[in-house]
Amino acid sequence: MRTAVYPGSFDPVTMGHLDIARRAATMCDRLIVAVLRNPSKNPLFTIGERVEMLEEVCRDMPNVEVDSFEGLLVDYACQRGAHILIKGLRAVSDFECELQQAHINRRLDSRVDTVFLATEACYAYLSSSLVREVVMLGGSVAGLVPPGVEDRLIAKLRQ
Ligand code: PNS
- 116-138: per-residue pLDDT in tens? 999 999 999 999 999 999 999 99
Domain CATH code at residue 120? 3.40.50.620
> What percent of the chain is modeled with pLDDT above 70?
100
Domain span at residue 116? 3-125
* 37, part of any domain: yes
Nearest to 9 by CA among 81, 22, 23, 40: 40
> Degrees (nearest 5) of the Cα angle 125, 92, 128?
35
State residue 40's pLDDT score: 81
Q: What is the mean pLDDT of residues 95-118?
A: 97
Number of domains in the chain: 1
Q: How many CA atoms lie within 13 A of 141 on its CB side?
A: 31
- 43-67: per-residue pLDDT in tens? 999 999 999 999 999 999 999 999 9
Ligand 1: residue of 41, 67, 73 to mutate (most ligand atoms within 8 A of CB) is: 73
State residue 159's pLDDT score: 76
85 CA distance to ligand 1 centroid (A)?
A: 11
| Better-scored residue on pLDDT, 127 or 93 | 127
Say yes or no: CB of residue 114 within 6 Å of ligand 1: no
Q: Residue 39 pLDDT > 90, yes or no?
A: no
